[in-house]
Structure formats: structure tokens, C-alpha cells
């Protein structure tokens, strides 16, 4: 098992390197940070000095090399826009995004899996049909529209929930959490529903399809022929066999939730990394954008590793194959 983890980490290195190169290269041509930082009035000498300071006069690969060296040490330079260390900015924003994303993912799983099981077991009940119709809405409505509709309904008309921001937060070391205050929890509701709705319906449809597939198998029929209780057959035997694909998709979707929180964060003015990224794009703030992309890539790679490890926990067949393969 440790050998497997090491080999996966080694596999992840080229991926991370490629992402770093692409993000760095892309943003090297995205805008002119110098012009934005200097403002309206400047002399050519000031401009040249700034370019030298930022290292922008160096050849592309020298710039990239410097960037990589620093990045490995957790040093992403200063934000052009805010003149503060990038790592500090991201550390400040990360808790907001992670709390939002985890809540959304948790919500999606907690509601999506039972709905999937139900619609798989009772294919023809009216509640199943309702869930399926409802899931169509979740899959097809764009996130920003759902967010705006929710704000309209619960903030503007009913006035129950705040329409923007994180509410009050409590500082736990460097981590600021909204979980511990009433206003923080209230502020979390609408954004997490907005962010998690698509994943929820996706998980529901996935679990349903897998359940239908598994319920047709011989071993489920045999489990029934052995006279096991419905509960044991449906949950013990059928559900567990649907888990592998569900874990895959949920894992990937967790990455997607964090990465695509951008839209939700913009709609709700959520002070997370996504909002930081959008603001940085507007200012051509290359260090922040590059660091953000690399961070997201690292998250995806980590989640994939966890997903692979979960496979081993669920499916004994992989344990043998995996041991041989590595």
C-alpha cells in the first residue's frame, strides 16, 4: 500500500508540472500587469524599473524556472494588485471556499444518495417520478440562475436568509470558520444549496442507474433466494456494489465543486478563493492566478489519490490486482 501511494505521488508530479507550465504560459500573455500597476501617469524609466523588479525582462523559461523554484518552497511571490504575499491571500480565502465546498458536497451526498436509492428501488412510484423531474431542473439550470432565484425567493421576498457574504466568522488559528456562529451558518445555506444542487442531482441519477444495474445481477437474485431480508439485500448487498462508481464521481465532483465555486462565490459575494481569482483576472494578477490554478490541480490530484485508496477499501478484487500491479 505505501508503494502504491508513492507511485501515485510520482505519477502526479508530471501532471502538476504541466499545469504549472500551462497556467504560467497562459497568463504570461493575458494582460499587461505593468500598465495596471503604474496607473495613468508614469515615465518610461519608472516602467523599465518596475519590469526589472518583477523579473519580466527575463526570458520566458528563466521566469518559469524562478516561479517553479519559489512555488516548491510555497512562495508564490507578491500579488501585483494588492502587493501582499500570494500565499497569505490564498490562506486567508481558502477556509471560506473549503467550508462552502465541503458543505455543498456533504449536502449533495446526504440528499443525493438516499434519493438515488429510493428511485432505484421504487422505480414507478410517483415520488420517484417527482425526484427525476426535479433532478432534470437541477442538471439543466445554470448555477448562477439558481443562485439568483434563491436570493430572490429567500432573501428578497421572504427575508429569511442573507443574500451575500459569510456572516460572522470565528478565528481558529489561521482558519476562519463560519460554522460556529448563527449568522455564519445562515449565510452558508443558500450558497451551498446553489453549489451542491447540480452534484446532488448527478449523484442521485448515478446511484439510481447503478442500483438498477446491480439489482438485476445474479448475486442479488441469489441473495433474495437465500431469504435475506429486504434491508440486507438492498443496503448490504446492492448499495455496497454501487459504491465504486459513486465514489469516483463524488471525488471528481468535489474537485469540481471547489474549482467551480467561482460562479457561486461571485453571485453571493462569498469571500473565497474563487472571488479572489475573478478579481485577479480583472487585474491581470499573474502570481495569484497561477498559484490558484496550481492549488486546484494539487487538490484534484489529492482527491484522485483518496478515491483510489477508497476503491481498495470497498472492492476486495482490487486489493489482489493492485498488489500484483505495483
Partner 1 sequence: MSNTQPLLEVRNLRVEFPTRRGTLVALDDVSFEIQPGEVLGVVGESGAGKSMTGAAIIGLLEPPGRIAGGQILLNGRRIDNLPYKEMRTVRGREIGAIFQDPLTTLNPLYTVGRQLVETMTTHLPIGPGEARKKAIEWLELVGIPAAAQRIDSYPHEFSGGMRQRVVIALALCAEPKLIVADEPTTALDVSIQAQVIALLKTLAREKGTSMMLVTHDMGVIAETADRVAVMYAGRIAEIGAVRQVVKHPSHPYTIGLMGSIPPITHRLERMQQIEGSMPRLSAIPRGCAYNPRCPQVFARCREERPELTPAGETRASCWLYDAESEQQVLRAGAHA
What distance in Å separates the CA atoms of residue 159 and residue 162, rounded to the nearest whole number?
Answer: 8
What distance in Å separates the CA atoms of residue 74 and residue 59, rounded to the nearest whole number?
Answer: 23
Q: Tell me whether residue 66 or residue 217 sits nearer to partner 1 (CB atom).
A: 217
Backbone phi, psi, residue 7, to 5°? -65, -35
Q: Minimum distance from CB of 114 to partner 1 (Å)?
A: 20
Q: Minimum distance from CB of 225 to partner 1 (Å)?
A: 4
Q: Is 268 exposed, middle or buried (0-12, 13-18, 19+ CB in 10 A)?
A: buried
Q: Minimum distance from CB of 252 to partner 1 (Å)?
A: 22
Closest by CA to 258, choosing from 86, 105, 89, is 105
For residue 323, CA distances in Å to 1, 219, 258 come to 8, 26, 32
Q: Tell me whether residue 65 or residue 236 sits nearer to partner 1 (CB atom).
A: 236
Q: Tell me whether residue 47 or residue 224 sits nearer to partner 1 (CB atom).
A: 224
Residues 271, 277, 281, CA angle at the centre, nearest 5°? 135
Q: Are 46 and 38 in contact (CB under 8 A)?
A: yes
Q: Minimum distance from CB of 216 to partner 1 (Å)?
A: 9
Q: Minimum distance from CB of 222 to partner 1 (Å)?
A: 5
Contact residues for partner 1 (CB under 8 A)? 217-219, 221-230, 232, 236-237, 240-241, 314-317, 320
Q: Tell me whether residue 118 or residue 292 sits nearer to partner 1 (CB atom).
A: 118
Q: Minimum distance from CB of 25 to partner 1 (Å)?
A: 45
Q: Tell me whether residue 113 or residue 193 sits nearer to partner 1 (CB atom).
A: 113
Q: Minimum distance from CB of 322 to partner 1 (Å)?
A: 13
DSSP for residue 104: H
Q: Tell me whether residue 282 or residue 321 sits nearer to partner 1 (CB atom).
A: 321
Q: Are 253 and 199 in contact (CB under 8 A)?
A: yes
Strand bridging mode 170-172 / 175-177: antiparallel
Q: Minimum distance from CB of 314 to partner 1 (Å)?
A: 7
Q: Tell me whether residue 238 or residue 276 sits nearer to partner 1 (CB atom).
A: 238
Q: Where are the alpha helices (DSSP H) in the chain?
A: 2-28, 33-38, 44-54, 60-72, 86-121, 126-140, 143-150, 182-215, 218-225, 230-231, 240-259, 261-267, 273-282, 286-314, 316-325
Contacts of 315 (CB under 8 A, 6+ apart): 244
3-class secondary-structure state, position 305: helix
Q: Tell me whether residue 14 or residue 316 sits nearer to partner 1 (CB atom).
A: 316
Amino acid at each position: 500500500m505505501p508503494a502504491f501511494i508513492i507511485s501515485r505521488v510520482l505519477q502526479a508530479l508530471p501532471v502538476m508540472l504541466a499545469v504549472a507550465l500551462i497556467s504560467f504560459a497562459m497568463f504570461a500573455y493575458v494582460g499587461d500587469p505593468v500598465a495596471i500597476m503604474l496607473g495613468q501617469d508614469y515615465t518610461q524609466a519608472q516602467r523599465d524599473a518596475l519590469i526589472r523588479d518583477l523579473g519580466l525582462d527575463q526570458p520566458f523559461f528563466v521566469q518559469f524556472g524562478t516561479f517553479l523554484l519559489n512555488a516548491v518552497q510555497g512562495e508564490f511571490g507578491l500579488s501585483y494588485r494588492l502587493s501582499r504575499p500570494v500565499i497569505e491571500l490564498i490562506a486567508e480565502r481558502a477556509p471560506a471556499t473549503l467550508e462552502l465546498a465541503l458543505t455543498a458536497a456533504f449536502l449533495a451526498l446526504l440528499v443525493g444518495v438516499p434519493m438515488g436509492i429510493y428511485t432505484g428501488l421504487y422505480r414507478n412510484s410517483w415520488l420517484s417520478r417527482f425526484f427525476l423531474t426535479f433532478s432534470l431542473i437541477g442538471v439543466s439550470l445554470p448555477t448562477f440562475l439558481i443562485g439568483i432565484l434563491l436570493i430572490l425567493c429567500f432573501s428578497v421576498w421572504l427575508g429569511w436568509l442573507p443574500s451575500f457574504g459569510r456572516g460572522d466568522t470565528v478565528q481558529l488559528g489561521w482558519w476562519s470558520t463560519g460554522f460556529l456562529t448563527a449568522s455564519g451558518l445562515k449565510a452558508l445555506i443558500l450558497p451551498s444549496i446553489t453549489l451542491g444542487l447540480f452534484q446532488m442531482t448527478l449523484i442521485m441519477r448515478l446511484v439510481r442507474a447503478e442500483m438498477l444495474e446491480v439489482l438485476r445481477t445474479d448475486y442479488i437474485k441469489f441473495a433474495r433466494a437465500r431469504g435475506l431480508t429486504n434491508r440486507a439485500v438492498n443496503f448490504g448487498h446492492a448499495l455496497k456494489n454501487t459504491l465504486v462508481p459513486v465514489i469516483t464521481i463524488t471525488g471528481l465532483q468535489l474537485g469540481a465543486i471547489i474549482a467551480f465555486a467561482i460562479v457561486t462565490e461571485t453571485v453571493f459575494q462569498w469571500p473565497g478563493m474563487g472571488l479572489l481569482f475573478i478579481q485577479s483576472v480583472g487585474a491581470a494578477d499573474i502570481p495569484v492566478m497561477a498559484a490558484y490554478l496550481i492549488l486546484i490541480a494539487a487538490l484534484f490530484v489529492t482527491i484522485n489519490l483518496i478515491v483510489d485508496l477508497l476503491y481498495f477499501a470497498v472492492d476486495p478484487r482490487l486489493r489482489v490486482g493492485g498488489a500484483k500491479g505495483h
